[in-house]
Amino acid sequence: FCRREANAAMLSNYEYTLKYLSKTPCAHQNPDTVKEFLTAMLPHKLTKAEKLQLLNHRPQTAVEIQLMVEESEERLTEEQIDELIQKVTDVLPGDPQKEANASADPEMETDQ
Whether residue 22 lies inside any domain: the answer is no
Whether residue 77 lies inside any domain: the answer is yes
Whether residue 46 lies inside any domain: the answer is yes
For 24-42, write each residue's pLDDT tens digit.
887 888 899 999 999 999 9
* pLDDT at residue number 52: 92
User: In which domain, by residue range, is 53 found?
Assistant: 28-104
* Distance between CA atoms of residues 44 and 25, nearest Å: 21
Whether residue 17 lies inside any domain: the answer is no
For 47-104, write each residue's pLDDT tens digit.
999 999 999 899 999 999 999 999 999 999 999 999 999 999 999 887 655 555 555 5
* Distance between CA atoms of residues 92 and 110, nearest Å: 18
CA 26 to chain centre: 6
The number of folded domains in the chain is 1
Q: At what angle do helices 31-41 and 78-91 cross, to 10 degrees?
A: 160
Whether the pLDDT of residue 112 is over 50: the answer is no
Closest CA to 64 of 32, 89, 28: 89
Task: Give the mean model confidence (pLDDT) for residues 6-30.
Answer: 79
* pLDDT at residue number 100: 54
CB 70 within 8 A of CB 47: yes
Whether residue 110 lies inside any domain: the answer is no
Write the CATH number for 33. Answer: 1.20.1250.40
Whether residue 33 lies inside any domain: the answer is yes
- pTM value is 0.68
Whether residue 12 lies inside any domain: the answer is no
Whether residue 16 lies inside any domain: the answer is no
